[in-house]
Structures are given as structure tokens and as C-alpha cells.
Amino acid sequence: MTNLIPLINSNLTPEMQGTLYFLSLEAHRNSQHIYCAGGFLLDLLLGRENRQLDLIVVGSAVNFAQKLTGLLPGKLSVYEKLETATLILPKGFVFTMASARAEFNPFIMESKTSAEDNLLKKNLFERDFTIDTLACSLNKENFGQLYDFFGGLADLGEKSLKVLYQLSLVDKPLRILRLIRLEQRLGFSLGKETGNLLRQGIAHRILGRASRESLYREVRRLFREPSPIKIILRLAELGLFKQLFPRIELNAGLVHRLKHLEGFLHQVEKENAMRTSDILLTYLSLLFSELSEHDLHYMCHIMRLKRRERQEIQRILKNKATIPHGEILFASI
């Protein structure tokens, strides 16, 4: 194990450092233990700051979140059945808290360490990839201690993405899309076995086992990434684009316009941040721009777009000539 205090002090702003120490103090006051994991920890190890904290709470995450709201001004959402809570604060701070569950897992051999370490290990095994399983203690007695039960740190160093077990993608097919998103965002390669499992899963069309609602919720996340076009091209390379967008022909002209749109949106974001929903609908409008009216309705239906979203796409397509650079983005090449 390694202690991350030097990284916390060097890679995070004083405000972010203070946030972690504040959470540590409140957990100690409430006699609870907490750990951070997920994207926040991954970005910390990669030298980037992330204000969205994924917290594992030993005890009740809901109770801990409710106590935090008495001290921090923010919007709290509680999910009692899932034993989770999300607290959204100003300046982009988001705390997602989940109670550590002591469920039996036949894949996990309990070690001779503490019961809490075994509990943490079981909960981390539920995550998608080995680099997601790293956790950092925010507890007073061992603040900054890194937990690496599944070799995630070595895989991070090798820039390799690996699932935790052979049936990982079968058990949760949406991991296929998460794997591709992370691969393109980080520029990592797939471990040999993971690459084989990915190709097998695609060949057996296991994404079809997910509900339309959950599948296209995951698809929406593709357009929040720094470079959606990279993900779209990777989906096409793997034969997944046609599964997800069956009526769309990803020809050279459309690819060219998508690249142009991505550059345009990056420039707009620098000047005046766009809402995530606006970015999504702009991308979808371009993808749908060559469809017939019937196919447009079909794609909106299978993607489970809301009525407001469908109307906005139709408005964009109708008024494309009045949008800055719209004649370039939507015209056939």
C-alpha cells in the first residue's frame, strides 16, 4: 500500500485539499469511516483535479449525507433503497455516497486483514475495471492510504484497461460502452483478455440484453466526453455503430462534419459554456440530418428521446441555416 498525501498536497488546489480534510473530520466526528474511489481517485493519480467525489461509507451513507447538509449549502438527493445519496454543492462539487454492503461474493476470498478491509474489497469488486477499484482512505487514523486489491495501480501505470473477471461484460453488458468511453478518453489500450472478451461480447450482441432505456442512457454519456468523434469512430470500427444507430450511414461526409462540429463546440465552450443537454442535441441533430422523416422518428423513438428533445432537434434541423456555421455543419459534402 502507498500513502497519497504527497499527491493530494501537490496535485489538488487548497480548496480541494480542504474539502477532503473536512470530510475526514466530519466522518471522525460521526464515528464513521469513509473512502474515496472512482474517477476522482483516478484523476488524482493522473495529475488532474476532479471535484466529483465518489465516496464509500462504512455505515449509513444516507445519514452521513444528511449530516453534511446541515453544514454545507447544497441540493441533496437520497435513494433509501439503494443506500446512496448525492450532494451537489456550488463551484462544481458533487459528493456521491454509497453505503458499503456486506453481501456474499463467491469470487472474493477474504484475507486475514481487518473485517473492514474485506468489506471494502467486496464493494470495490463490483466496479467495472481494475483501475476503478483503487480506493483512498479519508479516515483520521490512516488518511491518504491507498488500497489496491486487484492490481489497478500496475494497470494504470501500464495504461491498460482490464475487467475483473471473465464474465464481467456478460453480467453487465453496458460495460462494453463504458470500456470504449474510457479507452478513448484516456488513450489506454485493452488488456489482451479484455480485448478478446469485448470482441466476443459484440459478436454475440450482448448489448441487446440491456433495456432500451438503460442502453441509451449510456449512449448519451458518450457525447459528454472530450472527443465524441473518437468514440463514434471506435464504435464503427468494432461494428457497434450500426447496432446503436441502425438508420444512420456513417459516411466520410458525416465524419468530416462531426469533426468540424467537435472543434466548433470546443471553441464555443471556451467562450461561453454550453449546457450538456444542448451539446447532446446538437450532435444528434447532425447525426440525424440526412434521415428521412420516418427514420428520424424511428431513431428518436428507440433512443427514448423526450418530446422536448425531439422538438428541439426538429427546430435545429429546420433552422440550420440560421445557426453559426450551420450551413457547413449540416450541408452534404
Please write the tens of the pLDDT for every residue from 27-48. 999 999 999 999 999 999 999 8
**What is the rounded CA–CA span in Å between residue 33 and residue 116?**
9
Residues in the chain with pLDDT values less than 50: 104, 332-333
User: Which amino acid, 193?
Assistant: E
Return the domain boundaries, the chain. Answer: 5-158, 245-330
**What is the rounded CA–CA span in Å between residue 274 and residue 283?**
13
pLDDT attached to residue 333? 37
Helix axes 192-203, 175-186, angle to 10 degrees: 130
On whether the CB atoms of residues 274 and 223 are closer than 8 A, the answer is no
**pLDDT tens readout for residues 219-250:** 999 999 999 999 999 999 999 999 999 999 99
On whether the CB atoms of residues 97 and 55 are closer than 8 A, the answer is yes
Say whether domain 5-158 belongs to CATH 3.30.460.10: yes
Q: What are 51's three cell numbers?
A: 471535484
Instruction: Name residue 77's beta-bridge partners.
Output: 86
Could you tell me the CA-to-CA distances from 3 to 6, 13, 127, 137, 148 in Å, in that order?
8, 18, 22, 9, 11
pLDDT attached to residue 328? 55
The DSSP bridge pattern shows strands 94-99 and 52-58 to be parallel
Judging by beta carbons within 10 Å of its beta carbon (0-12, 13-18, 19+), is residue 22 exposed, middle or buried?
Answer: middle
pLDDT attached to residue 298? 97
Contact partners, residue 256, CB within 8 Å, separation at least 6: 333
In degrees rounded to 5, what are phi and psi of residue 96? -105, 120
**What is the rounded CA–CA span in Å between residue 175 and residue 163?**
9
pLDDT attached to residue 112? 54
Q: What are 165's three cell numbers?
A: 473477471
Distance of CA 44 to the CA centre of its chain: 16
**What is the rounded CA–CA span in Å between residue 53 and residue 36?**
7
Q: What are 107's three cell numbers?
A: 469470487
**What is the rounded CA–CA span in Å between residue 73 and residue 63?**
16
Closest by alpha carbon to 157, among 130, 175, 193? 130
pLDDT attached to residue 271? 65
